[in-house]
Amino acid sequence: MNKTYGHRFNIFIMKKDKFDAYCAWLFDILFELEKWLDISQYSPNDARVFGFVSERLLDVWINTNHISYVDQPYIFMEKQN
């Protein structure tokens, strides 16, 4: 979690068995987090907290399970700050 880089946008291609394992692990965490957070007063952007958390957890799962991966290039279609 101290890294200054990571995989964002929740975009990946993986085999079904890994995908199923990842989703089971991820959604257990997100459903538990949902019990603890009241997002009713969050701004529309802050209400996306579960998506933001899931982006960061992808790298945790990859590293913990020693999953090898290949980064593919991508482009932004809109101006970036």
Q: pLDDT tens digits, residue range 55-80?
A: 999 999 999 999 999 998 888 888 88
How many folded domains does the chain comprise? Answer: 1
Q: How far apart are CA 61 and CA 57, in angstroms?
A: 6
Note whether residue 73 is domain-resident. Answer: no
Note whether residue 57 is domain-resident. Answer: yes
CB 50 within 8 A of CB 33: yes
By residue range, what is the domain housing residue 47? 16-32+41-64
8-state DSSP, 77: S
Note whether residue 9 is domain-resident. Answer: no
Tokens of 41: 């007063």
Q: 3-state class of 81 per DSSP?
A: coil
Note whether residue 51 is domain-resident. Answer: yes
Note whether residue 81 is domain-resident. Answer: no
Note whether residue 22 is domain-resident. Answer: yes
Tell me the mean pLDDT in the region 7-26.
94
Tokens of 45: 């952007």
Total-model pTM: 0.83
Q: How far apart are CA 50 and CA 28, in angstroms?
A: 12
